[in-house]
Amino acid sequence: MSAIVIAINAAISVSAYLMTVRMIPRFRDMFVKARLYGKDLCKRDQPQVPESYGVLIGCVFLVSLFLFIPIPFTFDEAAAMDVETGGKPATFPHDKFVELIAALLSICCMIFLGFADDVLDLRWRHKLLLPTIATLPLLMVYYVNYNSTTIILPHFARAFFGKSVNIGIFYYVYMGMLAVFCTNAINILAGINGLEVGQSLIIAASILVFNITELCLGHQIESHKFSIYFVLPFLATSLALWKFNKYPSKIINFLYSTPQLFHFVPCPRHRLPKYDAKTDLLHISTTDFHPKELGTLGRVMVTVFRTLRLISWQEKSDGRVITNNFTLINFVLVVFGPVHERVVTQMLMGVQVMCTLVAFVIRYPLANYFYET
């Protein structure tokens, strides 16, 4: 029965892709007329680019999942007629149903917040808070259904803390912070064509491969089926967006951006690379400050980055310093110099692929050294 459910989910996902491909060009003028657009600063003619396509793609994604809601419960053997009990219906899996609805509610919240960001140009402190609010439905349902906050420790820590530790409310704090990190790790890397949705595609594809691998190994079958139900439509709609958003239309970046995100180093409102219309190349964007303006932690961070040659550094006659903005896009330009927008996108997507491969190495070969197989 599970194969039938996944096949239906895949069919709905294909339909979602086709619908999205047809809708995107038809809604372009509508967004422009509503002034929901920006200028592509990395092009000579700086064409108008709609900025709220996310809400359109999100709606198609949600509709596809709404249509899918009855499918797993119709074909689920646990909810089907139980022959052994004389043909009486088995107990309906209310816990699974609530988890599905809660996940959809959280997605609705995130789509709304994304649209609000496009329209209201939210500040970073709001972007850090709102994803946490959007995860509340999932966290509350998890609390009601499971409320398991015990974590299994690796072998080297068991001599000090035992095999497991119940971290209580800190588990929910961690999950809320994880949602903030995952959303903003993509958001702060925005700025050039196809990069955000391209990274989302790579991450979603790696999750799908992980789900399939775990299903083949027989690990946490229900959890990985649940994940596939969401990943397939997401891949389909994201692929449709990437078709229009790629040129010319997440963790490493977060760590590199930390000094500016938390204002240990002055952070301008926008940190996009500068575009040179004469050469059609991207150059680093910069910020300037006096070293005395930095706090102790800021000076330490800047010193470490300078020592490792992770940033550019130019001292002015008045003692002020000019350095690149701390984003992964600018870091690529620091290392390789001015390059074309397409090349930067390809490099950063290559980095994302490498990171996912490292994650698989950690999950399978290396994990066996720290946990029981």
Question: What are the tens digits of pLDDT across the range 190-238?
Answer: 666 677 888 889 999 999 999 999 999 888 898 999 999 999 999 999 9
Given pLDDT bands bounded at 50, 70 and 90, which one contains residue 370? confident
Return the structure tokens found at 289: 């400050």
Query: Within 13 Å and on the Cβ side, how many CA atoms surround 334?
Result: 20
Distances (CA, A) of 279 to 40, 282, 346: 16, 9, 19
CA dihedral over 360, 205, 271, 112, signed as positive or negative = negative
Helix (H) or strand (E) holding 195: helix 195-217
Q: Is the pLDDT of residue 86 over 80?
A: no
* CA distance linking residue 203 with residue 192, whole number of Å: 18
- Tell me if residue 339 falls in helix, strand or coil: strand
* CA distance linking residue 289 with residue 309, whole number of Å: 18
User: pLDDT digits over 255-310, tens only?
Assistant: 778 787 778 888 776 777 888 888 888 888 898 888 888 889 889 998 999 999 89
pLDDT of 253: 67
- Tell me if residue 276 falls in helix, strand or coil: strand
What average pLDDT is seen over the chain? 83
The answer to whether 253 and 189 are in contact (CB under 8 A) is yes
Residue among 92, 102, 96 nearest 135 (CA): 102
Quick one: CA torsion of 44, 46, 50, 54, rounded to 10 degrees?
A: 50
Q: Is the pLDDT of residue 350 over 70?
A: yes
The answer to whether 113 and 155 are in contact (CB under 8 A) is no
Section 54-58 average pLDDT: 85
The answer to whether 144 and 204 are in contact (CB under 8 A) is no
pLDDT of 141: 87
Q: Is the pLDDT of residue 104 over 80?
A: yes
Q: Is the pLDDT of residue 348 over 60?
A: yes
Q: Is the pLDDT of residue 249 over 50?
A: no
Strands (E), the chain: 37-39, 48-50, 81-82, 88-89, 150-152, 164-166, 274-276, 281-283, 286-289, 314-315, 321-324
Given pLDDT bands bounded at 50, 70 and 90, which one contains residue 180? confident
CB neighbours (10 Å) of residue 106? 20
The answer to whether 354 and 339 are in contact (CB under 8 A) is no
pLDDT of 46: 64
Return the structure tokens found at 76: 């689920």
Q: Is the pLDDT of residue 38 over 80?
A: no
